[in-house]
Amino acid sequence: MSTIAAAPATSRVSIRRARVLGIVFMALGFAAAWWFGFGSESGLDSTFGLNSRSSEVDLPPLALPSRETALLLAAICVFLGAIQLTRGFGKQANLILGVAVGCFILAFLVWAARDDSLNMVGMLQSTLLRSVPITLGALSGLLCERSGVINIAIEGMMLTAAFMGAIVGSAAGSTWVGLILAVLAGGLLGALLAVLSIRYRVDQIVGGTVINILALGLTSYLSAQILARYQNLNSPGRFPVIEIPLLSDIPIIGPMLFANNLFIYLMFILVIGINIALFRSRWGLRVRAVGEHPKAADTVGIKVLGVRYRNVILGGMVAGLAGAYFTLGSVGRFDENMTGGRGFIALAAMIFGRWNPIGAFGAALVFGFADSLQNTLAILQVPIASEFLLMAPYIATILVVAGVVGRARPPAADGQLYIKE
């Protein structure tokens, strides 16, 4: 009965939401036309480079008339808004929102690159690279949270693993040994989180906070105590770029996707693998059961605490991989607090991606894009405060948890103790 009574209310809300979205599309279109279309003087061209340093095939750069292109993109936004207001896209509305925002951003790029050139492939490449630790961190978070344990310690796990990767990799003279130890260090912190929150019933957020502080303190202390004195312990080297034959020669996407180092390939494997495992395997069904309704899971014979221990340790190991990326995949040395809040962006990406591996990867790409765009704009000397772009991931996450754009629903038992009766 109550569901029937609630139905008109929800549909009224969705009608209002549909109208709001339509207006948003229109507004994006008009804003794009005003700022980026009429903002660029007519007769200028925006040039987009389509080559990266490593590509074999040379593509001619794409030169577009700035004003006309921006106006076209703005028109698409307005058109989408008009359809949304009259017919409505229904369930596809969120997707269309993505398209509209995409057009807006493209129009912005056209405006930013007017009478100038912008290396499109380079920017997308850096987007992908910047999204690697965020994606892996988000995967770590969702492995834990799908089983009902909140993990806000992604940052601490990444930082510790980054340190471990640097020092062990240098001492052993092998990036592989560094990688393995970094993953183990992440797993160890995962185990600590699991023991604290499951065995000693510490509040999971407090437990995560402890790990974050501990990791920051230990790595800063040890890097001042050891790495500062023995510089040679802080040069682990990096994993080489592996070019996949043939595929890496494809223009544009080749160098982007198939000429990267180990971490990027591992990331793709993990995103797809975890997605399949979580939604298509018996293991995944059990994990989700434990995260949604542990009592029911227990009743049918699933070992709730066992599943949680395993998942949190696994999550720690994935966070360890994310941490290793900083020292062994990207920078090649450890610096104090080098993760710089990436663990919290990963948390945001996990929420933005609605506790779903593919979604988390998509969110990480969006956040990585904001980060790389900020960098590009600095090079183009666009007079726009980069801080607001850096804020975007956090604002987007707040909008999602507040239900402004869609609704994020976490696993029902996320953060709750399970005590066997």
Are 137 and 270 in contact by the 8 Å Cβ rule? The answer is no
Query: How many whole angstroms separate alpha carbon 343 and alpha carbon 349?
Result: 10
Q: Which of 84, 131, 170, 204 binds other proteins (CB under 8 A)?
A: 204
Are 358 and 148 in contact by the 8 Å Cβ rule? The answer is no
Q: Which of 18, 24, 44, 210 binds other proteins (CB under 8 A)?
A: 210
Closest to 10 in 3D by CA, of 94, 2, 397, 24: 2
Q: Which of 64, 83, 222, 331 binds other proteins (CB under 8 A)?
A: 222
Query: Under the phi-then-psi rule, with left for phi > 0, alpha for psi from -120 to 50, and beta for the rest, what region is 95?
Result: alpha
Residue 236 sits in the site that holds other proteins (CB under 8 A)? no
Q: Which of 216, 277, 302, 380 binds other proteins (CB under 8 A)?
A: 216
| Neighbour tally for 371: CB within 10 Å | 22
Query: How many whole angstroms separate alpha carbon 317 and alpha carbon 333?
Result: 20
Pick 152 or 267: Cβ nearer other proteins: 152
Residue 305 sits in the site that holds other proteins (CB under 8 A)? no
Are 198 and 332 in contact by the 8 Å Cβ rule? The answer is no
Pick 41 or 203: Cβ nearer other proteins: 203
Of the listed pieces 52-60, 77-85, 124-132, 213-221, which binds other proteins according to CB under 8 A?
213-221
Residue 403 sits in the site that holds other proteins (CB under 8 A)? yes
Residue 348 sits in the site that holds other proteins (CB under 8 A)? yes
Instruction: Point out which residues pair with 131 in neighbouring strands.
Output: none
| Neighbour tally for 283: CB within 10 Å | 13
Q: Which of 2, 8, 246, 387 binds other proteins (CB under 8 A)?
A: 387
Q: Which of 20, 59, 63, 412 binds other proteins (CB under 8 A)?
A: 412
Pick 79 or 394: Cβ nearer other proteins: 394
Are 85 and 19 in contact by the 8 Å Cβ rule? The answer is yes
Residue 64 sits in the site that holds other proteins (CB under 8 A)? no
Q: In the numeric block, which tokens belong to residue 203?
A: 């509040």
Of the listed pieces 32-40, 313-321, 325-333, 390-398, which binds other proteins according to CB under 8 A?
390-398
Residue 401 sits in the site that holds other proteins (CB under 8 A)? yes
The strand pair at 259-261 and 116-119 is best described as unpaired
3-state secondary structure of 35: helix
Of the listed pieces 111-119, 173-181, 243-251, 402-410, which binds other proteins according to CB under 8 A?
402-410
Query: How many whole angstroms separate alpha carbon 245 and alpha carbon 314?
Result: 32
Pick 76 or 400: Cβ nearer other proteins: 400
The CB-of-353 to other proteins minimum distance in angstroms stands at 14
48-53 contacts, C-beta under 8 A, 24 or more apart: 48/113, 48/117, 48/118, 48/119, 48/120, 49/117, 49/118, 49/119, 49/120, 49/121, 49/122, 50/120, 50/121, 50/251, 50/252, 51/119, 51/121, 52/119, 52/121, 52/122, 52/125, 52/255, 52/256, 53/255
Q: Which of 18, 27, 31, 214 binds other proteins (CB under 8 A)?
A: 214
Pick 74 or 389: Cβ nearer other proteins: 389
Q: Residue 364: which H helix or E strand, with range? A: helix 357-380
Binding track, positions 349-378, relative to other proteins; x by CB under 8 A: --x---------------------------
Binding track, positions 114-153, relative to other proteins; x by CB under 8 A: -------------------------------x----x-x-
Site for other proteins, rule CB under 8 A: 145, 150, 152, 196, 199-207, 209-214, 216-218, 220-222, 224-226, 229, 341, 344-345, 347-348, 351, 385, 387-388, 390-391, 394-395, 397-398, 401-404, 409-417
